[in-house]
């Protein structure tokens, strides 16, 4: 037994006990660890940062997926950048209107590890015929892509050597250029309390590029700081206004969720993180 310690701020640390180490290894891009905890189940760690736990992964994956997709009137084509653990893909594929999901993940080895150790959690997502899986750089893909998408979901790690390109002005512009008229872009935006610089940067980009933009949030117990923000932008849909009007969420009755509901959808916009 040992303790995993994570910190996203020099003054804050969070510890979780490793009851059993299930996998340790290094891919071409990052250090990967999977361990079991009696309370949280299996825990995926990339470069010393928790990505998912079986206990609460649904909060993140359902928030970043269902809020944009249920705000769009008829999402058919979806682009996911990152999200190699597969949980966001699983949620996107629950939408019956979605005809194709293009997923671009830099680290193919990570996908294999997650398929081996989180097979039950993924529920066959990587075998769905609607999936077009591309192993490569998401920013490079967008720069050369000519397809249009109803939703673009950016599930990146925090800015570092492997993901810095996903936080540039050019990247956000390329996302905008690849959206349909009512298309929506959503990206994870970190912890408002301990990573305000990320939110400030993303707020500036979203508001300068899109007609509508802002943040919504979810409380994720195993993420340092608890409260996690998601940035969104669209030229055709005001996600916050739709949430306030209670005009979204009806299609959610077509599938099962562990966290998402119409009330959660509306509440996600009530405590908009101040960036």
Are 254 and 169 contained in the same domain? Answer: yes
Distance in angstroms (rounded) separating the CA atoms of residues 239 and 162: 30
Q: pLDDT band at 168, cuts 50/70/90?
A: confident
pTM of the complete model beyond 0.85: yes
Would you say 116 is a known binding-site residue? no
Tokens for 176?
């905008």
pLDDT: which is higher, 252 or 123: 123
Q: pLDDT: is 245 or 39 the higher one?
A: 39
Domain range for 26 is 2-53
Confirm whether 155 is a catalytic residue. Answer: yes
Domain annotation covers residue 69: yes
Mean pLDDT of the chain: 92
Distances (CA, A) of 156 to 22, 81, 106, 186: 24, 7, 10, 11
How high is the pLDDT of residue 272?
A: 55
Per-residue confidence at 199, pLDDT binned at 50, 70, 90?
confident
Closest by CA to 15, choosing from 26, 23, 7, is 7
For residue 105, say whether it is annotated as part of any ligand binding site: yes
Beta bridge partners of 90: none
Residue 107 assigned ligand-binding role: no
Residue 205 included in any domain? yes
User: Is the domain of 34 the same as that of 102?
Assistant: no
Answer for the pair 130, 93: CB distance below 8 angstroms, yes or no: yes
With a CB cutoff of 8 Å and minimum separation 6, the contacts of 210 are 176, 185, 233, 234, 235
User: Is 123 annotated as belonging to a binding site?
Assistant: no
> Between residues 254 and 184, which one has the greater pLDDT?
184
CATH number at residue 17: 2.30.140.10
pLDDT band with cut points at 50, 70 and 90 for residue 245: confident
Identify the CA nearest to 65 among candidates 218, 190, 180, 263: 218
Residue 154 has pLDDT above 50, yes or no: yes
Question: Cα(246)–Cα(249) distance, rounded to whole angstroms?
Answer: 8
In a domain, 274, yes or no: no
Q: What is the mean pLDDT of residues 210-221?
A: 95
Q: Is the pLDDT of residue 31 over 50?
A: yes
Determine the pLDDT at residue 49.
93
Helix (H, G, I), strand (E, B) or coil at 69: helix
pLDDT for res 169: 84
- Residue 63 and residue 21 share a domain: no
Residue 137 counted as an annotated binding residue = yes
Looking at residue 124, which CATH number applies to its domain?
A: 3.40.50.150
Report d(CA 62, CA 81) in Å as an integer: 16
Specify if 159 maps to a domain.
yes
Assign residue 199 a region (left: φ > 0; alpha: ψ between -120 and 50; beta: otherwise): alpha
- Residue 103 sits in the same domain as residue 160: yes
Sign of CA dihedral 42, 13, 56, 82: negative
Strand pairing partners for 102? Answer: 79, 132
Which of 67-76, 119-128, 181-190, 251-260 is least confident? Answer: 251-260
Total count of domains within the chain: 2
166 has a pLDDT exceeding 80: no
Q: How confident is the model at residue 188 (pLDDT cuts 50, 70, 90)?
A: very high
pLDDT at site 253: 73
Residues 265 and 214 in one domain: yes
Report the DSSP beta bridge partners of residue 37. 41
Average pLDDT over residues 224-251: 88
124 and 174 within one domain = yes
- Given the residues 56, 107, 150, 155, the one annotated as active site: 155
* Same-domain status, 100 and 187: yes
Q: Consult the annotation and say whether 155 binds a ligand.
A: yes
CA angle 193, 105, 227 (to 5 degrees): 15
Residue 249 and residue 196 in contact, taking contact as beta carbons nearer than 8 Å? no
């Amino acid at each position: 037994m040992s303790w995993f310690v994570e910190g996203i701020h020099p003054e804050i640390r969070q510890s979780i006990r490793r009851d059993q180490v299930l996998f340790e290894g290094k891919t071409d891009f990052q250090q990967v660890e999977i361990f079991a905890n009696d309370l949280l189940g299996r825990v995926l760690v990339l470069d010393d940062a928790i990505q998912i736990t079986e206990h609460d992964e649904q909060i993140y994956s359902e928030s970043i997926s269902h809020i944009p997709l249920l705000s769009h009137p008829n999402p058919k084509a979806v682009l996911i950048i990152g999200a190699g653990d597969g949980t966001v893909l699983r949620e996107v594929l629950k939408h019956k209107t979605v005809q194709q999901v293009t997923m671009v993940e830099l680290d193919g080895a990570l996908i294999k590890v997650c398929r081996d150790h989180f097979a039950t959690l993924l529920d066959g997502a990587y075998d769905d015929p609607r999936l077009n899986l591309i192993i490569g750089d998401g920013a490079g893909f967008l720069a050369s892509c000519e397809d249009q998408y109803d939703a673009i979901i950016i599930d990146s790690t925090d800015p570092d050597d492997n993901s810095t390109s996903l936080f540039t002005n050019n990247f956000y512009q390329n996302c905008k250029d690849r959206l349909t008229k009512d298309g929506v872009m959503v990206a994870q935006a970190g912890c408002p309390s301990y990573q305000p610089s990320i939110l400030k940067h993303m707020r500036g980009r979203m508001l300068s590029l899109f007609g509508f933009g802002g943040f919504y949030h979810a409380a994720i117990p195993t993420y340092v700081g608890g409260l996690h923000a998601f940035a969104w932008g669209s030229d055709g849909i005001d996600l916050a206004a739709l949430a306030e009007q209670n005009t979204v969420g009806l299609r959610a009755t077509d599938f099962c969720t562990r966290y998402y509901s119409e009330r959660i959808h509306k509440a996600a916009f009530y405590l908009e993180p101040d960036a």
